[in-house]
Amino acid sequence: MQKNYFHNNTVANKNEVKKKKLQTHNIEQKRVVDINILLNKVKINNKNEVKKKIIFFSILSLMLSLFILLVIKN
């Protein structure tokens, strides 16, 4: 016997047939990792972060100085 529930004008059927999922095991082969490549990526990321920080603080200081000039001028 099916059980139907009405909620917000929709029907929810509780006797839905659930399919069993097949369990698959992913067997990954060992991969060779070159430490120099990883270290270079980290160095590049650090350089990019430093560049972003410098740009952010320079823009912030420029805007602050312009604001101060406008306040002093008036």
35 or 4: which leads in pLDDT: 35
Tell whether 9 is covered by a domain. no
pLDDT at 9 over 80: no
Range of the domain at 61: 49-74
Tell whether 17 is covered by a domain. no
Predicted confidence band of residue 73 (pLDDT cuts 50, 70, 90) = confident
Domain count, the chain: 1
**What is the structure's pLDDT at 67?**
95
Tell whether 61 is covered by a domain. yes
71/59 Cα distance (integer angstroms): 18
CB-CB contact of 35 with 47 (8 Å): no
pLDDT at 57 over 80: yes
Tell whether 57 is covered by a domain. yes
Give just the sign of the alpha carbon dihedral 41, 45, 51, 54.
negative
Tell whether 70 is covered by a domain. yes
pLDDT at 38 over 60: yes
